[in-house]
């Protein structure tokens, strides 16, 4: 599921320039039941959670130093999670509490919840992925270190959503998702657009992280995928829309907009 909250501040507020830390703090404080806090602390690259930084229009606020949120202007944040039915109430409640009290006041909200059990729709003829925030998609090198993938393929983009899907299904039903399914999905699509650039984000305390931004489009080939591949793609896209792609989604990275043409 995904919650988009528009908010304003009652008075000028100075916050860290790496605004996801501000968003995360407010969400944890606004989480009365503790479930959202648990999602933040469950750890690992397959964390079933993603947040945006504070967004001004269509751009994230990711600045060095500190920034000031100004009264009279509307900002927004997105919070996404994948898991059980209990999230349907817990995530919107935490988001509305976080940005509707204290220095913030809610200016509107949208909630979208989809069931992974729903039958898949028709196979997408075309999939376009646009980054809202830099994505950290990495590969393991021969010497065992991680390196940023600067021009991700569909397999790279879907890797994390598929692992999250595997985690959710394993916890709920004891069902495992083979990692090879990403390759099986990708072989049914050809990349037709790759617009990519790398960027460096200062996340505070002298730490800088490289990510990739861009837009990538993939067109279906004439090779018809098996039903299980189509189902896995459908569920992986739902998760990617909700929680994002790549690493560090719990601190604002890898948030995307996905456009599907069927």
- Whether residues 88 and 156 fall in one domain: no
**pLDDT at position 211:** 96
- Whether residues 35 and 132 fall in one domain: no
- Whether residues 28 and 54 fall in one domain: yes
- Whether residues 256 and 143 fall in one domain: yes
What CATH number should be reported for the domain holding residue 186?
A: 3.30.70.1900
SS (H, E, C) the chain: CEEEEEEEECCCEEEEEECHHHHHHHHHHCCCCCHHHHHHHCCCCCCCEEECCCEECCEECEEEEEEEECCCCCEEEEEEECCCCCHHHHHHHHHHHHCCCCCEEEEEEEEECCCCCCCCCCCCCEEEEEECCCEECEEECCCCCEEECCCCCHHHHHHHHHHHHHHHHHHHHCCCCCCCHHHHHHCCEEEEEEEEEEEEEEEECCEEEEEEEEEEEEEECCCCCCHHHHHHHHHHHHHHHHHCCCECHHHCCCCEEEEEEC
Residue ending a domain, among 86, 112, 138, is: 112
The residue range of the domain holding 27 is 2-112
Q: How many domains does the chain have?
A: 2
- Whether residues 60 and 98 fall in one domain: yes
Report pLDDT digits (tens) over 102-118.
889 999 999 998 888 88
- Whether residues 201 and 76 fall in one domain: no
- Whether residues 108 and 146 fall in one domain: no
**pLDDT at position 43:** 63
Ranges of the chain with pLDDT below 50: none
- Whether residues 186 and 62 fall in one domain: no
Report pLDDT digits (tens) over 54-99.
999 889 999 888 999 999 999 999 999 998 888 888 999 999 999 9
pTM above 0.95, yes or no: no
**pLDDT at position 179:** 76
């Amino acid at each position: 599921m995904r919650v988009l909250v528009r908010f304003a501040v009652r008075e000028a507020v100075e916050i860290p320039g790496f605004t996801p830390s501000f968003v995360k703090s407010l969400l944890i404080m606004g989480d009365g039941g503790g479930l959202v806090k648990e999602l933040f602390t469950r750890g690992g690259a397959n964390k079933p959670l993603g947040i945006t930084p504070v967004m001004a229009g269509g751009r994230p606020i990711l600045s060095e130093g500190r920034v000031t949120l100004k009264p009279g202007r509307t900002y927004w944040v997105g919070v996404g999670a994948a898991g059980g039915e209990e999230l349907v109430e817990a995530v919107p409640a935490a988001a509305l509490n976080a940005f509707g009290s204290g220095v913030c006041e809610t200016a509107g909200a949208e909630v979208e919840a989809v069931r992974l059990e729903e039958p898949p729709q028709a196979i997408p003829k075309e999939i376009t992925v646009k980054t809202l925030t830099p994505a950290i998609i990495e590969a393991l090198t021969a010497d065992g270190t991680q390196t940023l993938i600067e021009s991700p393929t569909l397999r790279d983009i879907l890797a994390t959503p598929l692992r999250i899907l595997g985690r959710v299904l394993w916890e709920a039903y004891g069902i495992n998702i083979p990692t090879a399914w990403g390759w099986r999905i990708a072989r049914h699509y050809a990349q037709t657009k790759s617009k990519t650039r790398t960027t460096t984000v200062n996340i505070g305390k002298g730490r800088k992280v490289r990510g990739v931004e861009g837009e990538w489009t993939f067109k279906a080939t004439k090779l018809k995928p098996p039903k299980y591949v189509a189902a896995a793609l459908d569920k992986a896209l739902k998760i990617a829309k909700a929680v994002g792609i790549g690493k560090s989604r719990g601190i604002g990275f890898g948030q995307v907009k996905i456009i599907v043409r069927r």
